[in-house]
Amino acid sequence: MNLKFNKNEDFNKLQLSQLKKRIAQVKLGGGKKRIEKLHTQGKMTARERVDFLLDSNKESIEIGALVGDGMYEEHGGCPSGGVVIKIGYIQGKQCVVVANDATVKAGAWFPITGKKNLRAQEIAIENRLPIVYLVDSAGVYLPLQDEIFPDKEHFGRIFRNNAVMSSMGITQIAAVMGSCVAGGAYLPIMSDEALIVDKTGSIFLAGSYLVKAAIGEDIDNETLGGASTHCEISGVTDYKAKDDKDALNKIKRIIDKIGDNTPTGYNRKKSIKPKDNPEDIYGILPASRSEQYDMVEIIKRLVDNSEFEHYKEDYGKTLITGYARIDGWAVGIVANHRKVVKNGKGEMQFGGVIYSDSADKATRFIANCNQKKIPLVFLQDVTGFMVGSKSEHGGIIKDGAKMVNAVSNSVVPKFTIIIGNSYGAGNYAMCGKAYDPRLIVAWPSAELAVMSGNSAAKVLLQIEKASLKKKGETITEAKEKEMFSKIKERYDNQVSPYYAASRLWTDAIIDPLETRKWISLGIDAANHAPIEKPFNLGVLQV
């Protein structure tokens, strides 16, 4: 291996090590002391509950582990958004599991908690997957109630989704394993079946203190809304469990009896590992986001037997399109090429930029995959569409619009991997979060923004300089450098994949070697849901 490869490898493995450290910290939730307190109460932590429930011999993926990272610091933080969400298998049946983390503010709902729960329900709805709620929550975090309570995408939307999923025949099972108060009490009861753990689980619209204040009644919480009350008197819950493990085992037995969905029929054969070593990715991927590399070499280390069938290989070369298999599943891949290339006219084209011919090729390929019922995988390392008079006169806006139209109207499942740059309209055309990928993940090398930190800082600096000059202030060279550094530092923080992951713009930051697993589990999930409408490009016909 050459020196450049080794330097890239060292850099990318260091980034991966930093990711693993941050994930390990997040998994502690509210901290070791609060975990110990739960254990003394005879309760399991959210992660222990989820891991006990899921089949240990099958793969699982976690959605939004880094949600809340760096947010709400003035409120003590909100690791993982105070909720753990995994897609995995229970008794061999793929499910979504949502578990409140009672070590984080007693499982209270922050604004990002609501967004993360809605994402879990979105995944269940899109893929017709059963969803299990493990409830242990103090309800809405009151200091931020105005950001979580009243709007369309806030707390109440969850109960609306409960009702919609029930009408769609999507199984919902809830286990009340701790507090379940106020509006949050509707979630388990709007599920198909509800369990409650004796002595530790409780459900009520108002706790004993509020009842005393409101109507003067003296009553303890257990009598008011404990397991015996709701299983023997009110009939609100369907099963009483003696402890956490008993509740989780009951859920396993219920899931075990659910009938199978009719598969959508995505093509799958026996999985074959890549022939080229996947660990080479660390050395191929440059440390600098502006440096060129061969995306085909990345693809060969992600696909079965390193076999990739190019579509229009010699046309629109800054986008790579073609067919492959990932863990046996047939996929169509759309990837940004990061090498400077020559088009058919002998003109130089920059890697990572989408030109008219590239957009035209991608639009045709996406249409083909929809016609043949082949899931799409987007590998993003894009700086945007080509600009300038030549591109504008050549109709880049129209060609780009066709590609965006094809991505928007695609009916086969889409999966997006942000490998490097994800800038501006390139993010949209390559199936960013706004374009409904079933799953969207980033590698530690990813950057998401309107433009790069360096470019944005230059633009913002010019605006700031102009403003200061209007006020009659003189700007020295040293002052200009200081201003540029401050602007770039602020912008670079927002470009970070951690900034995106904390706000759920991506579902996770992953080790590149986990990419095959995420795509495979995603297609397996999508295979539960029928395609409900034909592919149609609307007014922008190709």
pLDDT at 511: 98
Q: Is the dihedral of CA 32, 37, 40, 45 positive or negative?
A: negative
Residue 242 above 90 pLDDT? yes
**The pLDDT value given to residue 83:** 97
Per-residue pLDDT tens over the stretch 486-518: 877 877 788 999 999 999 999 999 999 999 999
1 pLDDT band, cuts 50/70/90, is low
State the pLDDT confidence band at 540, using cuts at 50, 70 and 90: low
Q: Is the pLDDT of residue 393 over 70?
A: no
Cβ atoms of 51 and 252 within 8 Å: the answer is no
**Mean pLDDT within 354-376:** 96
Bridge partners (DSSP) of residue 341 are 349
Give the pLDDT score at 50: 98
Arithmetic mean of pLDDT, 517-531: 97
Dist CA 485 CA 62 (whole Å): 36
Q: Please name every residue paired with 336 in a beta bridge, in sequence order, or none if there are none.
A: 319
**Other Cβ atoms within 10 Å of 361 Cβ, number:** 24
The pLDDT value given to residue 541: 46
Question: What residues contact residue 296 under an 8 Å CB cut-off, 6+ apart?
Answer: 308, 320, 337
Rounded Cα gap, residues 537 and 542, in angstroms: 8
pLDDT in tens, 262-304: 999 999 999 999 999 999 999 999 999 989 999 999 999 999 9
- Does residue 3 carry a pLDDT above 70? yes
Comparing 219 with 439, which gets the higher pLDDT? 439
Q: In sequence order, what are the residues at sequence separation of 6 or more whose Cβ sits closer than 8 angstroms to the Cβ of residue 187?
A: 133, 135, 158, 159, 162, 174, 180
pLDDT confidence bin for 58, thresholds 50/70/90: very high
Higher pLDDT pick, 480 / 73:
73
Strands (E), 301-389: 309-310, 319-326, 329-336, 341-342, 348-349, 353-354, 376-382, 384-385
Q: How far is CA 314 from the centre of its chain?
A: 34
The 3-state DSSP class for residue 418 equals strand
> pLDDT class for 183, splitting at 50, 70, 90?
low
What Rg do the C-alpha atoms of the chain give, in angstroms?
A: 25
Identify the residue with better confidence: 345 or 387.
345
Give DSSP secondary structure letters for 453-489. Answer: HHHHHHHHHHHHHHHHHHTT----HHHHHHHHHHHHH
The pLDDT of residue 366 is: 98
Extract the tokens encoding 73.
């610091």
Residue-wise pLDDT tens digits, 163-180? 999 999 999 999 999 988
3-state SS assignment for residue 333: strand
pLDDT of residue 542: 45
Q: Pairing mode, if any, of strands 439-442 and 508-509?
A: parallel
The pLDDT tens digits for 112-127 are 999 999 999 999 999 9
Tokens representing 244 are 């956490």
Work out the pLDDT band at 539, boundaries 50, 70, 90: low
